[in-house]
Amino acid sequence: MKKLKSPGELAALQEEIRTGRDPKKPCITICAGTGCLAYGTQKIIDCFRQEIEKQQLEARVEFRTSGCHGFCERGPMVVIHPQKIFYQRIKAEDVPEIITRTVLAGEVIDRLSYVDPATKQKIVYEHDVPFYKRQTRYVLGMNGEIDPASIDDYLAIGGYSGLAKALSGMKPEAVIEEVKKANLRGRGGGGFPTGWKWDATRKAQGEPKYVICNADEGDPGAYMDRSLLEGNPHLVLEGMIIGAYAIGSSQGYIYVRNEYPLAVHNVTVALDKAREAGLLGDNILGSGFSFDITINRGGGAFVCGESSALFASIEGRSGEPRAKYVHATDQGLYNKPTTLNNVETWGNVPLIINRGADWYSSIGTANSKGTKIFSLVGKINNTGLVEVPMGITLREIIYEIGGGIPKGRKFKAVQTGGPSGGCIPEQHLDIPVDFDELTKIGSMMGSGGMIVMDDRNCMVDVAKYFLKFLEEESCGKCTPCREGIVQMRIILDRICEGQGKEEDIDTLEWMGQAIKDGSLCALGGSAPNPVLTTIKYFRHEYEAHIKDKKCPAGVCKSLITYAVDAEKCTGCHACARVCPTQAATGEKKQAHVIDTAKCIKCGACFEACKFDAVVVK
């Protein structure tokens, strides 16, 4: 590609790409995000390529591998343009038929269409799928339009126009002012106003100044940053370049989990293409402004998502946080002024510059503007990534977008904010989701993980799960976090084993508060949250474990027994076949029994029984 030397040349190239494309030409877009690839999408991609070649359709049909579309539950999926016909759970065998009947003849293949479980109606077009219909996909929606490896695709939808606008008509201070006016807040969890961070870094003494993209997405159950980075890397780069211009930075870093190989690859390709086009490197678009970006792969430590630990990791040290009486905006990476923003935050910047702060701040609530991407996972019918305006209720997300709880079971709680967040019960499902409201009820926005749990999930077990996670991930530098979390976990272990004491709940509460007050960084400072919120909203479950020695959800092994309901048992022998300890026995066609002395409570019989005859007591 020719190096672009001015914003005018960029606009001309965008126009050239657009006019060179026929909007009526059939285009097959297949989701090739990590989630869909895990379903085996690569085989389907290969089939499409072979079939297009076989039928000699290269000139008539476009084929595009895009990033994550968001509806992970129904992958592998394709969208056929220009009609936007949506097919889901497709297999390699379906490929020839899709090409012949749909792409060439315009027919809809009924069996591949999505059926709305609520109305039992077939849904032909992507935009009519309820999962998408209720969303506002300004940031994530672009994923389906572009091949992340193609800068042309991004330019065709107006990519880098925000950068051109900033460089040609706006002083750096004006860019900052716009971001401040839009009231963009950090999407990584903290919710700190982005414009203020930029302003402080710009005004700080010291050179060089750094901008960093935090893609160390460590919260289990959250993968929106990965999907954005791997699906639309240029959007994130554009945001970073605009930010660097506003701050006066010449060097940027993307700190990304090494567990995200596709994101690393796609960003590497995007960086090369952006450099080649003159959008990155020396004298960007002939403006005199120079800036470049380096990728750093993380080493697999949750704490490195914390800013000061992340700096230490980029500097080649172990990722231990430090006390933050000096802000990163003054002394961050290599003790120089640094702005660290999360992937999604950077991804919002081009929108704000392009469409203006007034437009942006018209979306959302009083103090939380724009949209937020959540990863809706766990016991939910429609697992996937959802982008919604701030202020939507949890109930709308879970029931209208998520399609409710599988197998008709009862909702128990939704966990937001990752290991630092909290579990929200049914009574709070109607609060508007924004930074402040979630904090008020003891949870937090966090990076956007939203894990739904049903009546078969034990809240004490979930609290223990998070503490165990944080115990392993605590860097060990400060005592309240390193020792406190372990002690809390030991108490929870005891409760789950039926050895809980009356005073344990009180002890957990005051210890939790002490750890929150005494820890150095946000990891320890928020670690007790899952325990404290589950005690607040599900105290009766703790009490059932401690006083009655029962696990109401049937999860904690020491407090449950497996038994066979003789009336339901058909004597099919399935339980006996899978039992690893020969605890489940019986004659064929006779009711079976489980010998509790031999049973190791592995759950194999429960899973194997097709007649619900194995019960947990």
Partner 1 sequence: MQAKIHEIISRYGSDKGFLVPILQDVQKELNYLPEDALVMVSTFLEIPVSRIFEVATFYKAFSLTPRGKHLLSLCLGTACHVRGAPLISGHIERALGISAGETSPDLEFTFETVNCLGACALGPVIVVDGEYHGQLTIAKTNTILRDLGRKVPSDEEA
Positions that interact with partner 1 (CB under 8 A): 34-35, 37-40, 72-73, 75, 217-223, 226, 258-260, 296-302, 313-319, 375, 377-379, 383-384, 415, 449, 451, 453, 457, 462, 465-466, 469, 475, 577-582, 602-604, 607-608
Q: Are 361 and 204 in contact (CB under 8 A)?
A: no
DSSP string across 133-179: HT---TTGGGGGG--TT-HHHHHHTTTTHHHHHHHHH--HHHHHHHH
Write down how long the chain is.
617
DSSP 82-103: TTTEEE-S--GGGHHHIIIIII
- Could you tell me the smallest distance in angstroms from the CB atom of residue 23 to partner 1? 32
Residue 162: which of 228, 246, 226 has the closest Cα?
246
Closest separation in Å from C-beta 85 to partner 1: 22
Which residue number, 107 or 315, has a Cβ lying nearer to partner 1? 315
Three-state DSSP class for residue 411: strand
Report in angstroms how near the CB of residue 554 gets to partner 1 at its nearest. 12
* Dist CA 327 CA 339 (whole Å): 10
CA distance 86 to 260: 27
Cis amide leading into 530 (omega within 30): no
DSSP structure string for 177-211: HHHHHHT-B-TTTT--BHHHHHHHHHHSS-SS-EE
Least CB distance to partner 1 at residue 578 (A): 5
Whole-number Å distance between alpha carbons of 542 and 534: 9
The phi, psi pair for 259, rounded to 5°, reads: -75, -5
Nearer to partner 1, 106 or 580 (CB): 580
The label of the residue with tokens 């090369």 reads 272
Minimum distance, C-beta of residue 315 to partner 1, in the bound complex (Å): 6
DSSP 269-297: HHHHHHHHTTSSBSSGGGSS--BEEEEEE
Instruction: Say how far apart CA 366 and CA 183 lie, in whole Å.
Output: 10
* Matching residue, tokens 């414009």: 195
Tokens of 94: 């379906």
Distance of closest approach, residue 607 Cβ to partner 1, in angstroms:
5
Closest approach of partner 1 to the CB of residue 199, in Å:
28
Q: What angle, rounded to 10 degrees, do the helices at 261-276 and 224-231 form?
A: 40
Nearer to partner 1, 164 or 303 (CB): 303
Rounded to the nearest whole angstrom, what is the least distance from the CB of residue 557 to partner 1 in the complex? 9
Complex with partner 1: residue 58 or 207, whichever CB lies closer: 207
* Of 309 and 357, CB closest to partner 1: 309
Q: Which is nearer to partner 1, 104 or 486 (CB)?
A: 486
Q: How far is the CB of 117 from partner 1 (least distance, A)?
A: 16
* Nearer to partner 1 (CB atom), residue 190 or residue 378: 378
If we measure between CA atoms, which residue out of 383, 298, 354 comes closest to residue 178?
A: 354
Which C-beta is closer to partner 1: that of 48 or that of 469?
469
| In the block, residue with structure tokens 């980029």 | 314
Residue number with CB closer to partner 1 (203 or 598): 598
Nearest distance in Å: CB 156, partner 1: 28
Of 379 and 516, nearer to partner 1 (C-beta) is 379
Shortest Å distance, C-beta 477 to partner 1: 11
Nearer to partner 1, 449 or 586 (CB): 449
